[in-house]
Amino acid sequence: MISTLTDEQRDFVEAVGEFCRREVTDSVARPHDDALYREMAKLGWLGISLPEEYGGAGRGMRDLVLFLETSAYWRAPTGGYATSVITAAAYEKFGSADQKRRVLTDFLNGEVLSISMSEPGAGSDVGGLTCRAEKSEDGWVINGQKTWCSNAHIAKHILLVARTSTEGGKHEGLTMFSVPADSPGLEIRGIDTMGGREVNDLYFTDCVLPAAAVVGVEGKAWPQLMAGLNIERMILAGLMLGTARRAFDDALAYVRQREQFGRPVGSFQALKHRLADHATELECTRLLVHDVAERMDAEPGTLFPREASMAKLKATEFAKAMALDGMQMLGGYGYATEYGMEGLLRSTVVSTVYGGTSEIQRDIIGKSLGL
């Protein structure tokens, strides 16, 4: 455990770990178990970083990273949490008083939230969005398709980014909307992936929303999104840090007990040196992620785009590499679902794509260097 944690943080990590050791079993449905998730809500953990005025604990990014890292390490089936806390942060910053009351209360009570940006023709290039929201006499009418929307199928509220104007630059004229997931005119259709059905296509056909559905300022979704992307990247970094730790520990435990040629395979230099390198990379990743989280808590008005991109890039790329090498070290058992390493690999492969690809993170870091 990191030496700079306070006694309160150590107790928190231990409490989350004990809960997961007790409640997370092979029989728990994955990737999201609603009953277990709502138990965490009752304990007040879902709102760990939400300000107290909205019912949260107000404990900042470092504590959020600790929760994400610990729950991911113990493989808690809370797949809806990452999108929920990302979306909740947007409502907290830009939502109306009524939106905050309804949506944040639902979030704290264990409802899943989702955010929808990507489209078939617009992924990394958010400015290319074409899903339209047109004003009507009573509010707005939405038409178009969104895609790769994580957890929309289990969400109660979806934060939609749609185009409300074609005037100005491509990043102008985008608006956020609060959309109930059961809205008439919205069809949610799952996409089969190697990780199961965790992402969805959304089809809007004359979906009517009230005028009050706008989140923040009409036409200003782009700067609102930019204000939240670094939070999203830190959330994903925390998750993948925990996943990388689990992959490392599982690989280490296996090579210690697995014997070939009369001795544990971990005693052979080929594996010993690989695990030494992974241990070093893991420590570097952990220090980076927690350092950036501490900086964000110390300067809450600062965005830290370079540092958040570094944390996301490092944690996701290392987690993927660790899980892949873990499979190699486990041999045939690494490919078997009984041992779990293949599941860790499936969850890490996509991490270098969502929340901004590794290539986008490198571009952001490069621009911060004046390149």
Catalytic annotation, pick one of 69, 198, 232, 317:
232
Per-residue CA distances from 262 to 24, 203, 267, 270, 350 (Å): 36, 60, 11, 16, 38
Quick count: other Cβ atoms within 10 Å of Cβ 362?
13
Q: Cα–Cα distance between 43 and 32 in angstroms, integer?
A: 18
- Both tokens of 339, joined, read 């041992």
Three-state SS for 264?
strand
- Both tokens of 365, joined, read 């870091």
Residue 66 burial by Cβ neighbours in a 10 Å radius (0-12, 13-18, 19+): buried
| Burial track 142-164 (b if 16+ CB lie within 10 A, e otherwise) | bbbbbbbbbbbbbbbbbbbbbbb
Q: Is the dihedral of CA 314, 317, 320, 322 positive or negative?
A: negative
298, containing H or E segment: helix 269-298
- Both tokens of 54, joined, read 């909205």
- Both tokens of 38, joined, read 């709502």
Which residues have C-beta within 8 Å of that of residue 8, sequence separation ≥ 6? none
Q: Cα–Cα distance between 243 and 345 in angstroms, integer?
A: 9
Asked about 232 being catalytic, the answer comes back as yes
Which residues are marked as active site?
A: 232
